[in-house]
Structure 1
Amino acid sequence: MAGDQLQRRLALAGAWLFAVGMVTGVWAAIVITERITVELPRLALAAHLNALLGGLWLIAVAATLDMLRYGEVGRRRLAWVVTVPAWGNWFITLLASILGVTGLEYTRGDPANNAVAALLHSVVVLPSLVGATAWAWGLGRKR
């Protein structure tokens, strides 16, 4: 029963992130058509796509929870380690699109860019690598 609840919550988080991504597509359209001018308009599109793909990732993990070799605690940990970066990637990229910074590298004299870079590394990149690896590993043969 607890596994079904975890699966449902993870799928729900993915569905909501996908829905938020669709709404973020409106922001992307406004920015790309220059109704609102921002320094890096493609970041709005990136935020839109990050939410869509992140939502699908969460739904895929939810769909495969029963196939994992992990117990209940391991599955719960995996759910957290994929949910946080999926939502964080959308939010931080949306924030970067508003601030007009990429956050892809640390730069001198640009604290907003450096803050976004630190957030991306700590909330998105490292947890995503851990989550994707743990998911793939967990789909291996059950012991």
Structure 2
Amino acid sequence: MSINLSEPIKIVFNEIEIDDYLPSIKFKIDINIKQFTHLLTYSGEIWIDCKVWDRFSKGLNEGKDTTLNDMDDIFIIEIIKNNEFIEFTWSIKRKDPEGNVMTAGYSSKITDDVYSVIRNEFINYPKWW
């Protein structure tokens, strides 16, 4: 199972494992961001709690502010809706045991059409829980 988004940035969620004990899904994430003359590529693996997935999908479906984060709070997608615009934000922050830190992020205003695509990808993801 996978989710493929092409706007505002290219994000692919590929399901690689599930955990029935603590209902959660492990995804391989691939992100490609092209902005001006710059390119940012990220690839990693994250676990998302199914309750968090449900909360995010419900927020998208109801047109409310909503957040998707992994179980370690290093990977975050936020959708912020207000009367004037819709904002999509992605960030990652990872710290190793020696204190080295990697951070990356992206923020963009999106259209209603892009929002609809994001919403449909997440709410139509086949749930097993």
Normalised to the residue count of structure 1, the TM-score between the two structures is: 0.25
More helix by share: 1
Normalised to the residue count of structure 2, the TM-score between the two structures is: 0.26
More strand by share: 2
**Structure showing greater relative contact order (alpha-carbon pairs closer than 8 Å, 6 or more residues apart):** 1
